[in-house]
Amino acid sequence: MAMPSDATPSGENQPAPLSVSSKRARLAGIGVVILCVVAGFLYLGGWFNPHELTPARFVNGFEEVFGIHSGFRRNHAKGMCVTGYFDSNGQGARLSKAVVFQTGRVPVIGRFSLPGGNPFVSDSPASVRGMGLDFTAGNGEEWRTAMVDIPVFAVSTAQGFYDQLLASKPDPATGKPDPEKLKAFFAAHPESARALTIIKAKPFSTGFDNSTFNGLNAFRFIDADDVSTPVRWSMVPADAFKPEDTSQSANPDKNYLFDDFIARIHSGPVQWRLILTVGQPGDPTDDATLPWPEDREHVDAGTLTLDQVEAEAPGNCRDINFDPLVLPVGIAPSDDPLLSARSAVYSQSFTRRAGEKKEPSAITPSDVQK
Ligand code: HEM
């Protein structure tokens, strides 16, 4: 009986031994692969071009301006965790096949934050506020977004953000940014000067609970027929807008924005409507400094309810990277160059902080108690 070839006794059908020249060729091949891998790492680390803005250099920039605070985010370092759920009303499903937009409830983990790399910075009325959200749909898909309470972003490119970061570095002599450097930044970035005018025209609200948070970057929603639509999104609060009060800056509590939110959530759940703004052909999708016309269609996709608050701790929002490119099937990135830059820099910040010793956050477990 013939033996199947994979059951041949040892010695039969073995490959012929390699000649010396084939061995050399094989070793040379391995050497080339190793060189390519090393060159890849050097390229990503920016070693070939010392002026290239790599993710590592970007995060070095945050560290240069704010110092290194072990275990904390390099930007939006001061924060507090929240949890709740999103009730989709099904109206977003017309635009996106993402499971999160089908009618039903999905759990949400969130984080409120203030920008900058100082985790103990004092709350102040004019400080931009951040809301990070991580939706987990029934099929396990996640949708992560990090939004802020300004109507447009101040820069349109990663280089613009980096230039702004360094231009805003406080001068050791005055403790404030050097006005000449800021002037030079705005002269080199007229798009930022225009965006600042739009940002300043919109009053801040009194707290996190009555802030509108905007995703700012455009995305593409993909429906069940694979039709793609440009979309921007916002979380619009149920709590009534009240303009910030100048007396807030005199508040001796340096965590008053967080403490006010803790008091607010202890009085009952806090809610926002998820509003999708539908872009039209010609609306800019690659420039977060430019607003879309006011008359664009708005789709109310459902309600976000936050009902629990926690101090940052192992395993909660502290350990999530709210990377804007963690998207479910049905939401895709647009051509906005900020998106890939954000994803790469958040990852670099996350990698550094994940490997560091953790210190207690400004908002402690006792602060969040009733
Ligand atoms: C090139 C542009 C940007 C850069 C380099 C940048 C950088 C960063 C970094 C390093 C973090 C900390 C990441 C971590 O360690 O988990 C962060 C967090 C954050 N960013 Fe950005 N960012 C950019 C644009 C934006 C934009 C356009 C928005 C709003 C639409 C935004 C909103 C936020 C928020 C809310 C957080 C805090 C999220 C959390 O709680 O973890 N950022 N950013």
Q: What secondary structure does DSSP assign to 32-91, as a single string?
A: HHHHHHHHHHHHHTT-S-TTS--HHHHHHHHHHHH---TTS-SSS-EEEEEEEEEEE-SG
* pLDDT recorded at residue 41: 60
Is the distance from the beta carbon of residue 74 to the nearest atom of ligand 1 less than 6 Å?
Answer: yes
Instruction: Write out pLDDT tens, residues 293-336.
Output: 999 999 999 999 999 999 999 999 999 999 999 999 999 999 99
User: pLDDT of 148-165, one tens digit each?
Assistant: 999 999 999 999 999 999
- pLDDT at residue number 308: 98
Distance CA 265, CA 207 (A): 12
User: Measured from the CB, is residue 341 less than 6 Å from ligand 1?
Assistant: yes
CA of 153, closest atom in ligand 1: 27
pLDDT score recorded for residue 43 = 59
For 82, phi and psi rounded to 5 degrees? -140, 155
Higher pLDDT, 133 or 51: 133
Q: What band does 28 get if pLDDT is binned at 50, 70 and 90? A: confident
Number of other CB atoms surrounding residue 49 within 10 Å: 9
CA of 225 to the centre of ligand 1 (A): 32
Q: In 3-state terms, what secondary structure has residue 203?
A: coil
Beta strands in the chain (DSSP E): 78-88, 104-114, 130-136, 142-148, 213-214, 219-222, 228-237, 270-278, 298-310, 331-333
- Average pLDDT over the chain reads 92
Q: Return the residue whose CA atom lies nearest to atom 24 of ligand 1.
A: 342
Residue 125 banded pLDDT, cuts 50, 70, 90: confident
Please check the confidence at residue 361 and state whether its pLDDT lies above 60: yes
Determine the pLDDT at residue 35.
72
338 touches ligand 1 (CB under 6 Å): yes
What lies within 8 Å, CB to CB, of 264 at 6+ separation is: 207, 209, 239, 270
Q: Is the CB of 112 within 6 Å of ligand 1?
A: no
Please tell me the predicted confidence (pLDDT) of residue 7: 37
Q: Using a 6 Å cutoff on CB, does residue 192 contact ligand 1?
A: no
| 338 pLDDT more than 70 | yes
Alpha-carbon distance of 279 to 296, in angstroms, equals 7
Give the pLDDT of residue 29. Answer: 80
Nearest CA residue ID for atom 25, ligand 1: 342
Inter-helix orientation angle 55-66/337-354, to 10°: 60
Task: Please confirm, yes or no, whether 76 is among the known catalytic residues.
Answer: yes
* pLDDT score of 3: 35
- How far is the centre of ligand 1, averaged over its atoms, from the C-alpha of 130 (Å)? 9
The reply to whether ligand 1 has any atom less than 6 angstroms from the CB of 288 is yes
Instruction: Indicate which atom in ligand 1 lies nearest the CA of residue 113.
Output: 40
Q: Which residues, 6 or more positions from 112, have their beta carbon under 8 angstroms from its beta carbon?
A: 79, 80, 82, 129, 130, 131, 208, 258, 261
Name the residue type at position 152: V
Higher-confidence position of 116 and 1: 116
Query: What is the pLDDT at residue 27?
Result: 80
Residue 72 C-alpha to ligand 1 middle, in angstroms? 13
The minimum-distance atom of ligand 1 relative to the CA of 73 is: 15
Our answer on whether the CB atom of 79 is closer than 6 Å to any ligand 1 atom is yes
Nearest CA to ligand 1 atom 37: 76
